[in-house]
Every structure is written in structure tokens, then in C-alpha cells.
Chain A
Amino acid sequence: MALSRVRAMPTASGVGLRLPHLTDVVATRPSAAWFEIHPENFLANPHAAELLVDIARDYLISVHSVGVSIGSASGIDRLHLARVRALVDRIDPILVSGHLAWSTHAGEYLNDLLPLPYTKETLRIVSAHIDEVQDTLGQRYLVENPSSYVGFSTSTMTEVEFLSELVHRTDCRLLCDVSNIYLSAHNLGFDRDSYLAELPAEAIAELHLGGFTPEPEDGGGEVLVDTHGGGIAEPVWAFYARALEHFGPKPTLIEWDNDVPVLDVILAEAAAADAVLQSTFAPKPRQTSASHALAS
């Protein structure tokens, strides 16, 4: 089927819309470029879904699933996917995305985004699932690079090679989580700039930024845990600027899922992301003959 639908997104930054903020957003209609929601928070919560439908009348919404589990070898949960489709039909989101990970196994949901070995078998399974998701949703799916603490020595390709092949096979798009690259590079010891440079820039449709928590490890050093429980770390802002230089302006989402503060705090992080975007693409001062003269 033709998957022409990745609609125009604003380049201004959006924020994750979590349940504690729903009634405030309905009541106060804060200034926000767009919101991203996790459908799993709404599918079994009719009141929240009702508020979301109201919000969707005035704001652009992106749907970001944490439960579709395209990496599950035991198959994706078709009932869940059908429920996601029903919500998509109600709120007409501008994007629909999920993770390169798995979270269900044989009818059990493990409430986490678990790592995959990057092999030909995994590629075949994940590609088939993305095809099924895109067919069911009737639109392109954005696949997000994972945050990783552990990998598989049996992988036969790199994560970037795997993601690139997914794009080639399924015509999906990529959601580049800049914080995840930073975190995974630290945890697994790869070069984050090379990872960024090797991603297929033309497939990137959205960026994510989220907070992480350093935790000490036995034997020294620390592991960065993807908690989404705070603001964006300072070095990630600089890395975000490099991502923008590489990919061009892209809609960016601030994720904050734990210890959720008042919405204004998250919107301030979105404004900070906008400032990075503006400074990255601000016109450079043109060299004038006078400045030449001064320089000479």
C-alpha cells in the first residue's frame, strides 16, 4: 500500500503529555507547539481519552506507542494494535511512532523496552511487524533507536545498519532519540558522532530529548539509566545541536515521564530546544569588506 502520510510537522519543539497534566491543558490551553502521547495511557482510561479528544481539537498530537513491540518473536499483539488504530482514528495524529525493542513475550507484557540482537532473523521479524503496523494504521511508522545498557555479542550488524535496513525494507521513518544515542554510546562504548553521521538523514522525521540518571557501577564508572525523570543534561544539548546540523530542522519532543513536574517546567525545556534550533540555523554574519580590512 502507498504510505504517503507523514504530515508536515512544526519544527518547534513539543512536549510529552502525561496524565497529571490533562485537566490543566483542557482548562488553560497553554502555548505548546504540539503534544506527544503514549496511547497505552488512554486505551483503558475512557476519561483520559475523552480529555485527549478535546485537546486534539486544538493541538497537533503525535502518538508514541510503548506497547506495540515490533521486536517480539512471538508476534505483535494484534488486539492492542487494533486499539491503537481506534485511538488514532479518534485523534488524527500527525505522527505515529514506537521503539526498536520488544516488550511482550508469549502473551506477557514486560513493561520495558528490551534489547534485540541485530541479526538477519531479527531483521526479518521486525520488518514484517513494521509492515503489519503500517498496514493496520494506514500510515508510516516512525521507529525510535533504543536506549541500551546491554547488547548481544551475537549481533551481526550495528544498530545503525539495522535501522537503515529497516527503512530500506519497509519504507518506515526514523525517530532519532538524541539522548538515547548519547546514553547508549556511553553505556556500550561506541562513538556517538559516528552513529549520528551514519544514520540515514533523509529518513529522520522526529527527534527526542529526555533526561537520564547516572548510577554508579560496581568496579567503578557509571551507567546512564533512561529514566526520563529530569531535565536535559548539558552535554546532550551540545550533541542535539550537532544532530540538528546533520539532519536539518526537525520537530523535537521533550520527554519527561517520572517525577513529572508542572507543565511549565517541561515547556521551558521545549523552549530551550527551540533556542538551540534557532541558534544552530541562525544566519551567520556575512563577512564585509570592512571586516576584511580589519582582519588584514
Chain B
Amino acid sequence: MPSLLEIQRQVRDAVVAHEAGGALLARLAGGRDPAARLAIHRHHYQASLTRALLDKFPAVSWLAGERFAIAAAQAFVRAHPPAAPCIAEYGADYADFLASRAGAERLPYLRALAELEWHVGKVSIAVDRAPLTIESLASIDASELPDHRLTLQGGLRYCTADWPIDDLLKQYLSGAAPERYAFSAADVQLEIRGARGEFRIERLAEADFVFRSAVADGVTIGAAAERALDINATFDPGQALLRLVSAGLVIAIDKPETSA
């Protein structure tokens, strides 16, 4: 008799990959057709996760059409089972998958729009914490400030795109259906901020974007400023830090331990 691990591998293949082998079917019991009963689990796996993706990426369906979106979601569910039981975490790599689908080439901004939707979904369920005040920075010696790292609000994401996808998302959210919609390629650097069901998207100047996204990645203030200065020699790190803190986006500051 096969081990439980082997049986579960066979059931996994039947549920995810639609490959119910004869060895497994011979061991099943229930109803006239146990294979049809097993298919109830396959259907549930497919339907529940497909629905979860469609619910998370409604603008993708709006842009690409329901038929494309359903087929893509179903294919993703078969190729990429969730790695964890929290379905809110499922779909982080869906944007890249969408871009690889046949038919996506006619929508060169589809991947970026899906990525933006993913970020919007994540920041909308975040909770913001009490922000750091300007006064709390005053206790830190100015010469040491560049060696510090900032912790930003949980509901903050940064992304770039070759198309003004923020406009596209606003168009979707407006519910308007204009007969013509002019849409041209343009580089955008976006900050997506949200909490408790709300979100907003802002375009940032390139140097500001580089500074903030580096800080969000855990880079020290000094190193983030250097990256921004590489983009724009007139970038003012002090003002940029002030704006970041004043906007309530910083919740903690610390100085990383230096390795001996």
C-alpha cells in the first residue's frame, strides 16, 4: 500500500493538475463514480481561487475583458498553487504571469496595471500607526542622521511604469465609459498609500521616488540620498526627509549595527 505522502501527492495532482491516475482511483470509494466525487474537490480548488484572483484584479477584467481574465486566472491557479493558507497573500506574482499570456501583447500596460492593483489591495488592508514627529528627529545628531534607517507606514508601496497606469485605474474606478480614451506611453513613478479601506496614488518626481523607495527598502537615509543625488544633483535630502516625516509616513527610526 502506498504511503500517505504518496496518496496525497496523487490527490494533489488530481486536484491541481487534473491528473487523477488509475492507482489513486482504484483506492477511492464513494458513489457510483468516485472519480466524479474527487472532481468536486478539483472544482472547488479551481473555482475558489479563480474567484479570489478575479476579485483582487477587477481592473484587469475591465481592461482585458472577462474572457481573457477568467482564462488567465484559471491557468494561474493550475500553474501556481498558493504557498500559504491566507488567500489575501495569493497572487503576488500574478502580474508577471498575465504579461506572459497569449493576447497580453496587445495590452503592453496590463502587467503594470495588475501590479498597481496588487499594491492597492495590499495598502487598503493596512493599518497606519502613529507617525514620527519632526521633533523626535531633533534628538539625533545631524551628522549621524545619514546612518539611520526609517521604518515607513505598512500601507506604503512604490512602483514605476512605462505607462500612466494611475490614470487608467482612475478611469476604471470612475465607472465612466468614454467612446475614446487617449492613452500614451509615459514614465511614471508612483507612491501608493492606504489604510483601513482607503487608498490614494500620487506621482513623484524621479529623485524623490528613488529616495523614498530606497528608504522603504531599508536603505540608510544617507545611502538613499546618494541614489537620489545620482538622478538629480539638485536633490535636497533634508527637504525630502522633512516632507516624508511631515506627511506622516515615518513610524520609526533606528541606526543599524555596524559589523565589526
Contact = CB atoms under 8 A, between A and B. Distances in A.
B196 A225 contact: no
A66 B41 contact: no
A104 B45 CA distance: 12
B29 A105 contact: no
Contact of A47 (B27, B29, B197): B197
B33 A111 contact: no
Nearest to A148: B30
B48 interface: yes
Interface of B: 1, 3-5, 7-9, 11-12, 15-16, 26-34, 36-38, 40-41, 44-45, 48-49, 81-89, 124-127, 154, 195-197
B29 A151 contact: yes
Given A80-B85, A110-B81, 20 more contacts: A41-B88, A43-B86, A44-B86, A44-B88, A44-B125, A45-B86, A67-B84, A68-B85, A74-B5, A80-B84, A80-B86, A105-B11, A108-B82, A110-B12, A110-B45, A112-B41, A149-B41, A153-B28, A154-B1, A223-B40
A225 B27 CA distance: 21
Interface residues of A, number: 54
Contacts of A234: none
B30 A110 contact: no
A115 B11 CA distance: 9
11 contacts: A43-B86, A47-B126, A47-B197, A77-B85, A109-B83, A112-B15, A114-B11, A117-B27, A151-B29, A152-B7, A219-B33
Given A74-B8, A109-B84, A225-B40, A187 B31 contact: yes
Nearest to B196: A47
B83 A108 contact: yes
Contacts of B31: 149-150, 187-188, 217, 221, 223
A155 to B, nearest CB: 8
Interface string A214-225: 000111010101
Contacts of A109: 81-85
A108 B15 CA distance: 12
Given A74-B5, A102-B8, A105-B9, A218 B33 contact: yes
A40 B87 contact: yes
B84 A77 contact: yes
Contacts of A69: 85
A198 interface: no
B3 A149 contact: no
A46 B127 contact: yes
Contacts of A149: 30-31, 37-38, 40-41
